A and B are shown apart, each in its own frame.
Chain A
Amino acid sequence: MKTLTRRTILKSTAAAGALPIIGSSAFAADPLKVAFVYLGPIGDHGWTYAHEQGRQDVIKKFGDKVQTSIVENVLEGPDSERVIRRLAEEGNKLIFTTSFGYMNPTLKVAKRFKDVKFEHATGYQRAPNMSTYNARFYEGRAVCGTIAGHMSKSGVAGYIASFPIPEVVMGINAFTLAARKVNPDFKTKVLWVSSWYDPAKEADAAKALIDQGSDVISQHTDSPAALQTCEQRGLMAFGQAWDMSNFAPKAHLTAIVNRWGPYYEARIQQLLDGKWESGDTWWGLKEGVLEMSPYNEVIPADVQTAAEATRTGIIDGSVNPFAGPIKDNAGKERLASGVLGDGDLHKMDWYVEGVQS
């Protein structure tokens, strides 16, 4: 026993510039090595920053039992495959790949490293050792929509969107449906910028939408540029993936905050207990993977109450963002009564009434 652990310690410290060892105790099992692959820089104050906070939660909860590492700014495509493969080669047993574009690279590496577990965010490919996970962002959009419906004087919201993939479409629809519950004539104008992150373009898009009549801006892109534009013009906006109020103290009404900690902790615990299984996890407000950031004080009390009602309603199940009847923006009825199931949401490629895309 002693020889084994001494050899383990020597092996770990011998590698030049190797990953730092967090308290490798001579009597406990080797820490579980977990790696995270990030699309952007951890300082982006948005998507990647949220994942990084999740990792910090993991470190706090598991301490010595887990040893984590990250690679940031990993381009989607073959570069990501190389990075993921290297992480697997280096002994990581659980690897989180946090962007859709890592899907095929993750799958390729998963096929070659069958004893390593992979978790891919926002994708749809799985394997016995590869899971997918996502968050029901649309629930947060419904809360934002409720606020927008109350707060907007012009009744028109601008929506800066990246690509017309189901996740984005769901968000637009949930937002609009919620706003229309408050204001039946509410309209959402969507501008596609074909990028997840392009501050100058997002700012220009915000300006164009504002000039065309929107007084509240929502976005499914990652920079705070649109918020800054709204702040300059005295209008309203919602933050994306994290609390962005420091960029726009007056304009930032609230934000959908991604809290990946609960999911990461759960999966790591399952792996430590030997109970990890491949599957698809789609958690929402109820499971704590999403939160709303504090409401801006400019939001009147009655609107905050309405927003809270939506939020708590979603959590206890009494409110569903996609409850019928729902008509699409061509006038056709898509759902007479009941709610849209997950299957319909995963394929969503149509827009509800009131959306101008």
Chain B
Amino acid sequence: MLIELEKRKEPSKAMLYLTPIIAVVATMLAGAIIFSLIGHDGFGAVRKIFLAPLLDTYKWQDLGVKAAPLILIGVGLAIGFRANVWNIGAEGQYIMGGLAGTGVALATWGMTGWWILPLMCIAGIAGGAAYAGIPAFLKTRLNVNEILSSLMLTYVAIQVLYYLMRGPWKDPDGFNFPQTRLFTDDQILPTVIPGTVVHLGVPLAFLVAIVAWFVMSRSVFGFQIRVVGAAPAAARYGGFNTNKTIWAALLAGGGLAGFAGILEAAGPFGQMVPQFPTGYGFTAIIVAFLGRLHPIGIVLAGIILAVTYVGGELAQSSIGLPAAATGVFQAMMLFFLLATDVLVKYRVKFASPAKAGDAA
């Protein structure tokens, strides 16, 4: 049996919206079956992971807090991906943004003022953007593939973090543990819903997504990004400078990743520690794809992935599902999405070898 792909005349809009849903449902089904086969309570696991966090309103604050950095980074990455600029180093830019903001925090430790937190955030954005500028420079000046350069830089950033934690930025009163001082009250994100953990970063993330939506769909910049991505030759002919676009795409991705970094450091963490890199930069790539590179889709995808994180923890303590299962579910979602993605542009036809020979 041959799988033949027949290109559609136009990409199917229906499939565009359906496929992420198909992917999630397929993951839930496949996951339940696979986990049942290896001896765990498969359907219970799926219920715990995917449904329980949504049904328990107490958990929504956790979903928001977990989704915020994913959405921020995902939106930034999507801008780049639309322009065919493949920034894989968001994790490194996230770390550098967090470090830049932490640097400001340590320098202003002991001072008070409303200006400290915004300054930290600006530093975070600048740090992440500057770090993304390196692959941008390498690509525009030296034609270095940005996938490889941005990826390598991620691991360099991790070492920079370790060095600072072990050495110059270590808390002098911290018994030699490799971590910075705790941020002061002026340096921590305020809680926007009293009695919860929902910090300022959560509404900011949603705001950024909405702004990005406007920019991408209504502004010249957004148009430029999309054209450069879809048809580079036409873009050049139309007068769009591809180099500038590459810079803009990488700086946007890096800046938003850096922003997410300082928001996490000043919010949930409250300090900088070696465990800071939690893989958001990579998960955000899944979020960007699952959200079809559209800011609103990314918001939804970010929430779905947050659900798997929070749900995974629930499943662990209540039905003994191993922690590693979460990563398997997340990867399956992306696999299914990538697999069903083909349905958007192509119609799948099954032909037997004999018939295929006749049709040729």
Direct contact of A and B (CB under 8 A): yes
B175: interface (CB < 8 Å)? yes
Q: A17-B48, A17-B318 are in contact. Are A347 and B275 (CB under 8 A)?
A: no
Distance of A99 from chain B, by nearest CB (Å): 11
1/0 contact string of A9-40 vs chain B (CB within 8 Å) = 00000001111000000000000000100000
Distance of A137 from chain B, by nearest CB (Å): 16
Q: Is the CB of A164 within 8 A of B176?
A: yes
Q: Is the CB of B273 within 8 A of A76?
A: yes
Q: CA of A69 to CA of B52 in the docked complex: distance in angstroms?
A: 18
A79: interface (CB < 8 Å)? yes
| Interface size of B in residues (CB-CB distance below 8 Å) | 37
| Interface size of A in residues (CB-CB distance below 8 Å) | 36
Which A residues lie within 8 Å of B316 (CB)? 71-73
Q: CA of A124 to CA of B315 in the docked complex: distance in angstroms?
A: 31
Q: Is the CB of A73 within 8 A of B323?
A: yes
Centre residue among A83, A86, A87, A101 by max chain B CB count within 10 A: A86
Centre residue among B44, B162, B269, B317 by max chain A CB count within 10 A: B317
Q: Is the CB of B176 within 8 A of A349?
A: yes
In the complex, besides A76-B273, A166-B176, A349-B176, 6 extra interface pairs with C-beta distance below 8 angstroms are A17-B47, A71-B313, A77-B268, A77-B273, A82-B197, A194-B166
Q: Is the CB of B166 within 8 A of A101?
A: no
Partner of A100, one of B48, B177, B271, B318: B177
Q: CA of A18 to CA of B310 in the docked complex: distance in angstroms?
A: 16
1/0 contact string of B298-332 vs chain A (CB within 8 Å) = 00000000000010011111110011100000000
Distance of B262 from chain A, by nearest CB (Å): 14
Q: CA of A282 to CA of B119 in the docked complex: distance in angstroms?
A: 43
Supply 22 A–B pairs (Cβ within 8 Å), ascending by A.
Answer: A17-B47, A17-B48, A70-B317, A71-B313, A71-B316, A72-B322, A76-B275, A77-B269, A79-B278, A82-B65, A82-B197, A82-B310, A101-B273, A101-B275, A104-B182, A163-B177, A164-B176, A165-B175, A166-B175, A166-B176, A194-B166, A194-B178
Q: A76-B275, A89-B58, A194-B162 are in contact. Are A16 and B175 (CB under 8 A)?
A: no
Which B residues lie within 8 Å of A166 (CB)? 175-176
Q: CA of A270 to CA of B177 in the docked complex: distance in angstroms?
A: 32
Which B residues lie within 8 Å of A83 (CB)? 313, 317
Distance of B222 from chain A, by nearest CB (Å): 33
Which A residues lie within 8 Å of B269 (CB)? 77-78
Q: Is the CB of B268 within 8 A of A19?
A: no
B109: interface (CB < 8 Å)? no
Which B residues lie within 8 Å of A87 (CB)? 317
B62: interface (CB < 8 Å)? yes
B270: interface (CB < 8 Å)? yes
Interface residues in B266-293 by Cβ distance below 8 A to A read: 267-271, 273-276, 278
Distance of B80 from chain A, by nearest CB (Å): 27
A81: interface (CB < 8 Å)? yes
Q: Is the CB of B275 within 8 A of A17?
A: no
Q: A71-B316, A73-B323 are in contact. Are A165 and B278 (CB under 8 A)?
A: no
